[in-house]
Amino acid sequence: MPPSDDAPAADSFADAWAPDQRLQARYHAVRAGSLEIAAPLSAEDQQVQSMPDASPVKWHLAHTTWFFETFLLVPRLPAYDVFDPAYGYLFNSYYEAVGARHPRPARGLLTRPSATEVLAYRAHVDAAMARLLGEPVDLATRDLIELGLAHEEQHQELIWMDILNLFAASPLKPAYGPDAPRLRRAKRPGDWVDIAGGIVRIGAEGGHFAFDNETPRHDVLLGPYRLASTLVTNGEWLAFMDDAGYRRPEFWLSDGWARVQDEGWEAPLYWRRCGDSWSTLTLTGPESVDPAQPVAHVSFFEAAAFAAWSGKRLPTEAEWEHAATVAPREFDQLFGEVWQWTASAYSPHPGFAPAAGAVGEYNAKFMVGQMVLKGAARVTPAGHSRPSYRNFFHPHQRWMFAGLRLASDAPAPEGVDAFRRDVLRGLGAARRRIPAKWFYDAAGSALFERICELPEYYPTRQETALLANIAGDLAAHIPAGATLVELGSGASVKTRLLLDAAPHLSGYAPVDISQTALRTAAAAIARDYPSLKVVPVRADFTRSWEGVPEEGPLAAFFPGSTIGNFTPDEAVSLMAGVRERLGADGLFIVGIDLAKDEAELLAAYNDAEGVTAAFNLNLLTRINTELAGDFDLEGFAHRAVWNRLEGRVEMHLESLRRQTVTVGGLRFSFVPGETIHTENSYKHTPEGFASLAQRAGWRVACIWTSPSPSVALIVLKSEAYDGSEGFGANGRSASID
Ligand code: AVI
């Protein structure tokens, strides 16, 4: 929330004639906040300056007071008595318009005034400010007071940063104290959030305080992009370091690489090698690096190198701000852990005009050579930031609480364009067909859920019962510490049977195209299996495995006999892809539906309630909605047939009359009885499936079959694996009844 959100939206007439009590209260709270942060620090702690970028705490306390004295009391409070005319020189930071100043790198040399005298200075100015605030103030005065308070909040954060930097320089590694702000882990597993982009508006909206640099609000054109829902963690940073990230120039900007050389960077600021591991200095003292906490104290150069190493990029300022405005709930750690580097230079928004008067120097003159950071840090006072807030630092600076959130361009379209392509191509073919994957829009997915509950549709029921029976035996094949990668995970319901039986799993990576299903399922699994590292991966696993963890043994899980929806050649290439991805010691658990009596099969795809018919016909509804089609659903009927030669149930949509349909401006004529082939569902024999698996480099290590109507669960191991099992030879096969 912006600091003055609870202010009246506009000044009412009555307000203008009364002291602003809200502003009085805020003034007192902010000023007291600075003293509270300084209170546990000794006079010596408050005196020293650790480097030119940092300032002594005592100087911060005096400078923020000077701001109110110089910009408010002197010009606006009649008969104000300046506390000490020499302070203007000592505590002016950078305002050319108000005169000369003491050099910044020498602030630590100011042993006078003492810390006690600075407190007296604060009390003097606070008493005068109480007089100013005790009368009604005009809008311009109120805006300046708000600016002074936001300025003091920025210095509160600087106190935390500077004191940590000072303590880090001490061999004693002192702690501020046990109650100092500590970084927190993300509340949920990381994920990608897709944002459509377009012409979007960024910049401060009126109605609350904002710095001049956040204005004016303006249009920006954004392509579709993805933003990580969580911050980059120390664990990910360690992987970058382990992969020689600080020693490989290919990831670094030229200026960044020069810094790495000159300053000997090999880890974030404050990290120290501790035998085989790393520790870090925090405000609560030294501690070992927590892999789950967000990485902090990295420069823009390091953030950009990490992004390059990850094959991703930093978000632009506009991407970050737009995402934080339109979809804040999709993200974790937007505000309140670390500031997040963006790829955007700190330059004026189009149409920017600095604030009038000396305070116009506050932001405008720094608009070159720095980069924008968004969000807020743990040490940022609550309520200080907002989506339009623009923090800025030089690209090499590291003592801020700065980290990063990754972004990437949206993956190549698998949406409407691919759907249109497949439908137009499929309807134009001599034998019309549309790939079955297009069944699963929201309505189609809901209908499929209903199919799974139908009395005639045995595969789900049988496989679930089989899995419940054999989960322990199945789990015994999975190596300790493995990550289970579930392909087409959906609601991850069956998975729990396996997870319960395999406490030795260390991770779970559900892979699904549906972001909503994925996020809900991953959050529920993460909640119920707290020791499991859950890494949801939004991907079409037939096209990409990007995001699936690379480290540790992997076991792929592909239940639901979905492999039956692939032709034998497609199934072989899918399984070969999985094998390549898992490596020679990977394990692949697949569910298949087995060949059986034709009548039983056809009943499963021709249920009495007509749910499968609705599922099939929903494809036409989807075409009508998404591709401007005019299919008359009354003109087509659901047909399921058993193709004995191919060993598959086929689903078709049969034209009931002569008719012409338009889709995307193209016309397609149908004669009665002509069909659109919409799905294949192959029913395998164990031997037939084993030979497909073998073509893909797999060997059946174990197969369990359910009672009739039978389905099977199969453990595949790499052909190259030197184990003792092998289906048909000395492999194991079990029927469960
Ligand atoms: C997802 N797939 C395994 C189902 C099947 O049996 O082929 C889809 C389905 N089609 C009609 N009913 C169910």
C-beta of residue 294 within 8 angstroms of C-beta of residue 403:
yes
Atom of ligand 1 nearest to the CA of 616: 11
How far away, in angstroms, is 561 Cα from ligand 1 center? Answer: 8
pLDDT of residue 734: 54
How far away, in angstroms, is 615 Cα from ligand 1 center? Answer: 10
How far away, in angstroms, is 448 Cα from ligand 1 center? Answer: 8
Ligand 1 pocket by C-beta < 6 Å: which residues?
Answer: 451, 459, 560-562, 564-565, 605, 612, 679, 681
pLDDT of residue 19: 84
Residue 197 pLDDT grade (very low, low, confident, very high; cuts 50, 70, 90):
confident
pLDDT tens profile 84-100: 999 999 999 999 999 99
C-beta of residue 294 within 8 angstroms of C-beta of residue 337:
yes
- Annotate 293-343 with DSSP letters as a single string: SBP-S--HHHHHHHHHHHT-BPPPHHHHHHHHHH-GGG-SSSSSB-EEEEE
The two tokens of residue 324 are 């934080």
Of the candidates 493, 567, 495, the one whose C-alpha atom is nearest the C-alpha of residue 532 is 495
Whether the pLDDT of residue 332 is over 60: the answer is: yes
Average pLDDT of the segment spanning 273-295: 96
pLDDT of residue 175: 97
Average pLDDT of the segment spanning 583-601: 95
Average pLDDT of the segment spanning 281-301: 97
Contacts of 575 (CB under 8 A, 6+ apart): 563, 588, 590, 692, 693, 696, 697, 698, 716
Residue 584 pLDDT grade (very low, low, confident, very high; cuts 50, 70, 90):
confident
- Specify the residue with its C-alpha closest to ligand 1, atom 3: 562
Of 605, 618, 639, the one to substitute when testing ligand 1's pocket (max ligand atoms within 8 A of C-beta) is 605
How far away, in angstroms, is 485 Cα from ligand 1 center? Answer: 21
Atom of ligand 1 nearest to the CA of 452: 13
Contacts 24+ apart (CB under 8 A), 257-260: 257/301, 259/299, 259/301, 259/396, 260/301
**C-alpha–C-alpha distance, residues 541 and 423, integer Å:** 21
- Specify the residue with its C-alpha closest to ligand 1, atom 5: 681
C-beta of residue 428 within 8 angstroms of C-beta of residue 332:
no
- Specify the residue with its C-alpha closest to ligand 1, atom 2: 562
pLDDT of residue 14: 38
Half-sphere exposure of 324 toward its Cβ, with a 13 Å CA cutoff?
25
Burial of 454 (0-12, 13-18, 19+ CB in 10 A): middle
Q: How far apart are the first and last CA of the chain?
A: 61
Among all chains, which residue has been given the structure tokens 């982009």?
Answer: 197
How far away, in angstroms, is 674 Cα from ligand 1 center? Answer: 22
Average pLDDT of the segment spanning 637-659: 97
Number of Cβ within 10 Å of residue 498's Cβ equals 25
Residue 442 pLDDT grade (very low, low, confident, very high; cuts 50, 70, 90):
confident
Q: Pick the more confident residue, 600 or 421.
A: 600
Residue 527 pLDDT grade (very low, low, confident, very high; cuts 50, 70, 90):
very high
pLDDT of residue 7: 33
Contacts of 125 (CB under 8 A, 6+ apart): 65, 68, 69, 73, 83
How far away, in angstroms, is 411 Cα from ligand 1 center? Answer: 27
Phi and psi at 684, nearest 5°, equal: -95, 160
How far away, in angstroms, is 41 Cα from ligand 1 center? Answer: 68
Atom of ligand 1 nearest to the CA of 680: 7
- Specify the residue with its C-alpha closest to ligand 1, atom 4: 562
pLDDT of residue 6: 33
In the chain, % of residues over pLDDT 70: 95
- Specify the residue with its C-alpha closest to ligand 1, atom 7: 681
Q: What is the dihedral of CA 541, 542, 545, 550, to 10 degrees?
A: 100
pLDDT tens profile 160-177: 999 999 999 999 999 999
The two tokens of residue 520 are 């809900």
Whether the pLDDT of residue 294 is over 80: the answer is: yes
Q: Can you list the alpha helix ranges (DSSP code H) found in 539-676?
A: 568-582, 598-604, 611-626
Whether the pLDDT of residue 726 is over 50: the answer is: no
Of 453, 457, 565, the one to substitute when testing ligand 1's pocket (max ligand atoms within 8 A of C-beta) is 565
Average pLDDT of the segment spanning 220-227: 92
Q: Pick the more confident residue, 721 or 382.
A: 382
Mean pLDDT of the chain: 92
Of 601, 602, 681, 682, the one to substitute when testing ligand 1's pocket (max ligand atoms within 8 A of C-beta) is 681
Residue 541 pLDDT grade (very low, low, confident, very high; cuts 50, 70, 90):
confident
Of 562, 642, 648, the one to substitute when testing ligand 1's pocket (max ligand atoms within 8 A of C-beta) is 562
C-beta of residue 730 within 8 angstroms of C-beta of residue 482:
no
Report the SS3 class of residue 483: strand
Q: Give residue 177's identity as a one-letter amino acid code.
A: G
How far away, in angstroms, is 562 Cα from ligand 1 center? Answer: 7
Atom of ligand 1 nearest to the CA of 562: 3
Whether the pLDDT of residue 509 is over 50: the answer is: yes
pLDDT of residue 16: 54
How far away, in angstroms, is 515 Cα from ligand 1 center? Answer: 21
How far away, in angstroms, is 681 Cα from ligand 1 center? Answer: 7
Whether the pLDDT of residue 403 is over 60: the answer is: yes
How far away, in angstroms, is 291 Cα from ligand 1 center? Answer: 42
Residue 552 pLDDT grade (very low, low, confident, very high; cuts 50, 70, 90):
confident
pLDDT tens profile 667-713: 999 999 999 999 999 999 999 999 999 999 999 999 999 999 999 99
How far away, in angstroms, is 587 Cα from ligand 1 center? Answer: 25
Phi and psi at 122, nearest 5°, equal: -60, -45
Average pLDDT of the segment spanning 325-349: 96
Average pLDDT of the segment spanning 91-113: 96
C-beta of residue 714 within 8 angstroms of C-beta of residue 700:
yes
pLDDT of residue 12: 38
